[in-house]
Structure 1
Amino acid sequence: MQTLAVAEYLNFRHAASAIGVSQSSVSARIKALEETLGILLFERHARGVRLTEAGRHFVERVSVGIDQLDQAVRTASMVARGEHGRLRVGVHALIQGSFLATLIERYREQHSGIEVEIIEGAARENVMRLRADRLDATFVAGSPAFPDCHARRLWSERLLVALPAHHRLADEAGVTWAELANEAFIVRHRGAGQQVHDHIIMRLAGAAVDMSIRRFDVEHITLMTMVAQGYGLSIVGEAKTLLHTSGVIFRPIFDEPETLSCSVVWSPHNRGLGLRNLLELAGRMSSYDQFIIDATAF
């Protein structure tokens, strides 16, 4: 700092006055630095000093280093305040207009200095990424309980049946499970496919004479196209209706008492303010009063 001040004022007295120390202190510090480096940084003369060629190169490099250090300090301070940095979020799908998409949109609006990275994948894959510190949070269907992670339920969606537009029940306001008893169903291997499969069996066990549930390794949009083409019916969360698949009709199941709950999962070791801000915003948006951000979780 004293070397840069002398290089700026080219005068020991003026430099000392500018940084609030004695002239002798500045002179002694510069002399000690020159002896340590083994080079002459300043040429002294009656009215002040001037930089040597070696001194000019030295000051240029030191100035760059000081600027980088200042920038690093400012950036670190912003990160510590949750105003700068990166947030890695795992999702199964991001559907415009859904709770999750709205949450991410509002977070980005409120924390413009945070780069939000979206990683799409199956719940199991994203939880593994979370455990490997490759994600800060992931959103999953259901209300999971992981011994090494925190999880909170955020929102729920009605369960609907997806029918081809030409189906005999497509013109009805809704259906009952009894009316679906002998229908063929199709579900995905990934995502919430296993949960959907088990739920259908639970509802129709004993009621269906010849239950048919086939599983396909496809994405949701492909599954809905298969529904439209008559492969079978499927059960979806209400947010999936926002995708507007041609040839598919969605109807509520009148006697379905459960909803599809969705949760956020995060590591108890992640104490970043970026994550905390996301969880607090999610809590404010959630319809569940019991969603409380526990300070001991950070």
Structure 2
Amino acid sequence: MNLDLSSLRSVIAAAEHGSFRQAATALNIKQSALSRRIRHLEGQLGVSLFERSSGGVRLTPAGTSMAQASRRLFGEIDEMVRASQLADRGETGVLKAGFGTAISASKVRSILAEHIKAFPEITIQVTERSRGQLVASLGTGDVDVAIVAGDARQHGGLTMSLWSERIVVALSSRHPLSNSEVIDWSDLKDETILLSQWDPGSDLRNLVLRKLAAPGGGPKIETWDASNENVLGMVEAGLHVSVHCESWTSVAYPGVRFREIRDASGPSHITFTACWEEHNRNPALTRFLETLRHTHHPTLLG
């Protein structure tokens, strides 16, 4: 049975006004048209929906049930329309975000918090993987956007430079250099530098090699297949020194001191980059990219 939505709206209006005439006026149609709609619906259902009298109309038990069901139906239709409009505008849906750095120790945390506050109906699924894994996941659609530290040349799609972080050295509080506020790269030439293989380990390794290159030899570097948290734990225990992005200074390690490293050209930096595929048409991704542009490139929004 095909029920006409306009007939259901006529039932609701007549029930609310207690009059076909007033209901027709509210719907901006002729009374005769409203009466036909309701009679046709009654014929389809085989029941009387209204008791008619000179004083107006009143719902029958069947009409009461129909009016209640119709209100629920239109409520669901309104919600369906609202949901589809929100999804089209990227204000709801699912965003699959991948990160190559710990959320707790980077600006990513504040970005996510701002986006969640602005669009609470968007579901964010977070993945933390290596840069290579994230680039592959972008291609397969398992990730909509990836934020990585350092070089993003592996990714052949679209990118956006976000922020730069200074490079700091982590030392045990018992290390003689920990008493200095700023450390020169040359002060580390005799140190063993402990690095994580996890991102952005390879970029930090290349930076150390450039800064401490010397005729006849190079810096002493140990690279572990361990998280940055575990590397800092070993530094806290007094084993070697380590190099990190400045966001790690927000994490409390009681026995570790973070100090800025610089040379004649000033402090060293590493850039964070957002990567995504041009063919990805997820509206939730579009909204997130707007958040990134607003946060880091406000001059581009005009």
**If the length of structure 1 is used for normalisation, what is the TM-score?**
0.78
Go from structure 1 to structure 2 and tell me whether the alpha carbon gap of 1:212 and 1:45 turns closer, same or farther (over 3 Å shift).
same
Q: 3-state DSSP class of the match of 2:78?
A: helix
Correspondence 1:274 to 2:287: yes
What's the % identity of the aligned pairs?
Answer: 25
Aligned partner of 1:119 in structure 2 is 126
2:249–2:258 contact (8 Å) kept in structure 1: yes
Distance in 2 between residues matched to 1:256 and 1:139, nearest whole Å: 30
**If the length of structure 2 is used for normalisation, what is the TM-score?**
0.78
Distance in 1 between residues matched to 2:181 and 2:49, nearest whole Å: 89
- How many pairs are equivalent? 286
2:167–2:261 contact (8 Å) kept in structure 1: yes
Aligned partner of 2:5 in structure 1 is none
Correspondence 1:259 to 2:266: no
Q: Output aligned runs, 1:20-99, within 5 Å.
A: 20-35=28-43, 37-47=44-54, 48-81=56-89, 87-91=95-99, 92-95=101-104, 99=107
Aligned partner of 1:250 in structure 2 is 258
Unaligned regions of 5+ residues in structure 1, if any?
Answer: none
Q: 3-state DSSP class of the match of 2:257?
A: strand
Q: Output aligned runs, 1:154-173, within 5 Å.
A: 154-173=162-181
2:94–2:125 contact (8 Å) kept in structure 1: no
1:163–1:234 contact (8 Å) kept in structure 2: yes
RMSD: 3.3
1:139–1:263 contact (8 Å) kept in structure 2: yes
Match for residue 17 of structure 1 among 3, 25, 47: 25
For residue 164 of structure 1, report the CA deviation from its aligned partner: 1.8
Letter in 1 for 2:162: L
Distance in 1 between residues matched to 2:135 and 2:62, nearest whole Å: 56
Correspondence 1:241 to 2:262: no
Could you give the per-residue CA deviations for residues 40-81 of structure 1, whole angstroms, max 9, x where no partner exists? 242453334443444333332221110111123234444555
Go from structure 1 to structure 2 and tell me whether the alpha carbon gap of 1:134 and 1:185 turns closer, same or farther (over 3 Å shift).
same
Go from structure 1 to structure 2 and tell me whether the alpha carbon gap of 1:280 and 1:211 turns closer, same or farther (over 3 Å shift).
closer
For residue 198 of structure 1, report the CA deviation from its aligned partner: 3.1
1:182–1:209 contact (8 Å) kept in structure 2: no
Distance in 2 between residues matched to 1:243 and 1:84, nearest whole Å: 33
1:177–1:255 contact (8 Å) kept in structure 2: yes
Q: 3-state DSSP class of the match of 2:263?
A: coil
Q: 3-state DSSP class of the match of 1:218?
A: coil
Go from structure 1 to structure 2 and tell me whether the alpha carbon gap of 1:66 and 1:153 turns closer, same or farther (over 3 Å shift).
same
1:188–1:219 contact (8 Å) kept in structure 2: yes
For residue 82 of structure 1, report the CA deviation from its aligned partner: 5.5
Go from structure 1 to structure 2 and tell me whether the alpha carbon gap of 1:190 and 1:241 turns closer, same or farther (over 3 Å shift).
same
Distance in 2 between residues matched to 1:174 and 1:207, nearest whole Å: 25
For residue 21 of structure 1, report the CA deviation from its aligned partner: 0.9
Correspondence 1:227 to 2:240: no
2:169–2:242 contact (8 Å) kept in structure 1: yes
Unaligned regions of 5+ residues in structure 2, if any?
Answer: 1-8
